[in-house]
Amino acid sequence: MEQVLFRHNHPDRMVSLEEYRLEGGFEAWAKAVRAMSPDEVQQAVIDSGLRGRGGAGFPTGKKWSFVPRDLPGPRYLICNCDEMEPGTYKDRVLLEKNPYLLVEGMALAAYALQVNHAFIFIRRGYEQAAHNLRQAIDEARRAGLLGSNILAGGFSLELDLHQSAGRYICGEETALMNALEGLRANPRAKPPFPAIKGLWGQPTVVNNVETLANIPAIIERGPAWWKGLAAIPEAAGTKLFCISGHVQKTECIELPLGITLGEIIDGPCGGMRPGSSFKACIPGGASTPYFTSDHWQVAMDFDAVAKAGSRLGTGGIVVFDQNTCMVGATLNLIRFFARESCGWCTPCREGLPFVQHILERIEDGLGRPEDIDILREHVQRLNYAFCALAPGAMGPVEGLLRLFGDELDEHIAKGKCPFKGSRSH
């Protein structure tokens, strides 16, 4: 398979600017500035079928098209690198290996949107990635690839890096903008949407690291070529999958979008660990409902995964073997989400700790039959939260109720967790 995001990578170090340019780096940027209009760059991204790689999967070019060109004042581009969802680490791997790809992708996006000041919002714990980005931005500026009158094409761009204090809610784009403005990281009411009124009240686009890093290849080789990299006609491009859990090989892998779940686990992951058999997995990060062996042949693409009852999300696949208690696994995830709630709205602030309490009670052998109905009710009620944090947090709970109701019943009937003493570590 042809690599797009990892084609410049070295196994043990970050690529240098010289190496990146010798292998075609910044050629797409030069092509755009010298020979393409902003509208042509945007149309290429639309034609490619690129969808956001940060979780929602919204078409990138369509998102850009919502930004009005006639409003006065500046417009902004923000790269979201607040990668805090359990099971997801693709953006960190990409930036530790090749930060220049993001710099070039952001430059192309800024040109398409006619943005002259862009920001990278990165979580505090990503110190190596932040160090690499600062180096890449400084080198690009010295090389005339950022700054004023870039490549004598008349376009100017300043790119700033912001290390956040770090909370999961900062991954929600309007909370991210509040944090960048120095305010409390709460989500904002929509509408108005960020494309109309975002950072400092100006039109703003927020894209994920992986999303932006795909743009140089689209401009360099063309949208049809990039789209054709997928494993199925309905998908487009490649995807970074973060594999963790009870498989032989855990790492971040670039694969064609639309490859099946079974092909990922039996292929680059090397199958399950010795003595383990596949029981379930989280297919797209901690906020997605579970898959089981019944989903082995599901194509790992946005629409196919949604049709199968989950979400592709960030592509963070966490694999569980036969000794995993799915009640305990779900409880572990809910503890994270309950802790990371910003507390802005009642369903999230009060609902998630209550769901945690119910799951703790069941896991400790004190569950009651009516607890199942309480959990089902919360799956429905928490959809009315202010932002997507609480509905996303209930994804694993919904999957637990739908796919592993027998385990919940067994916990309650036996008055204990039946997996204690046999769990994999």
Q: For the segment 288-297, what is each residue's pLDDT rounded down to a tens digit?
A: 999 999 999 9
Query: Can you give the CATH number for the domain in which 350 is found?
Result: 1.20.1440.230
> Do 405 and 356 contact (CB within 8 A), yes or no?
no
Together in a domain, 181 and 198: yes
Together in a domain, 371 and 286: no
Q: Look at residue 424 in the predicted model and tell me its pLDDT.
A: 47
Together in a domain, 311 and 331: no
Residue 166 has pLDDT above 90, yes or no: no
420 within some domain: no
Query: Can you give the CATH number for the domain in which 178 is found?
Result: 3.40.50.11540
Q: For the segment 170-225, what is each residue's pLDDT rounded down to a tens digit?
A: 999 999 999 999 999 999 999 999 999 999 999 999 999 999 999 999 999 999 99
Q: For the segment 82-117, what is each residue's pLDDT rounded down to a tens digit?
A: 999 999 999 999 999 999 999 999 999 999 999 999
Together in a domain, 220 and 338: no
2 within some domain: no
Rounded average pLDDT over 25-37: 96
Q: Look at residue 80 in the predicted model and tell me its pLDDT.
A: 96
Residue 1 has pLDDT above 80, yes or no: no
Nearest to 150 by CA among 209, 189, 89, 103: 103
- Cβ neighbours of 44 (radius 10 Å): 23
Together in a domain, 58 and 198: yes
- Residue 168 belongs to domain spanning: 17-227
Give the CA distances from residue 21 to residues 94, 96, 140, 150, 424, in Å, rounded to whole numbers and listed in that order: 17, 17, 11, 16, 46
Q: Look at residue 422 in the predicted model and tell me its pLDDT.
A: 57
Query: Can you give the CATH number for the domain in which 289 is found?
Result: 3.10.20.600
Together in a domain, 218 and 309: no
- 264/216 Cα distance (integer angstroms): 26
421 within some domain: no
Question: For residue 425, what pLDDT band results from cuts at 50, 70 and 90?
Answer: very low
Q: What crossing angle do the helices spanning 99-113 and 27-35 adopt, rounded to 10°? A: 10
pTM for this predicted structure: 0.94
384 within some domain: yes
**Total domains in the fold of the chain:** 3
298 within some domain: yes
Together in a domain, 158 and 74: yes
- Cβ neighbours of 131 (radius 10 Å): 15
Amino acid at 328: G
> Do 157 and 147 contact (CB within 8 A), yes or no?
yes
4 within some domain: no
Q: How many helices (H) and strands (E) does the chain have?
A: 18, 9
- 395/252 Cα distance (integer angstroms): 23
Together in a domain, 143 and 53: yes
Q: For the segment 229-281, what is each residue's pLDDT rounded down to a tens digit?
A: 999 999 999 999 999 999 999 999 999 999 999 999 999 999 999 999 999 99
Together in a domain, 114 and 128: yes
The H or E element that residue 120 is part of is strand 117-122
Together in a domain, 346 and 387: yes
Q: Look at residue 380 in the predicted model and tell me its pLDDT.
A: 94
Together in a domain, 337 and 294: no
String of DSSP letters for 142-163: HTTSSBSSGGGSS--BEEEEEE
- 97/375 Cα distance (integer angstroms): 42
Identify the domain boundary among 227, 248, 273.
Answer: 227
Identify the domain boundary among 321, 351, 385.
Answer: 321
Q: For the segment 342-384, what is each residue's pLDDT rounded down to a tens digit?
A: 999 999 999 999 999 999 999 999 999 999 999 999 999 999 9
Together in a domain, 141 and 284: no
Identify the domain boundary among 275, 300, 321.
Answer: 321
For the chain, helix, strand, coil in percent to 5 are 45, 15, 40
Structure tokens at 392: 């996303």
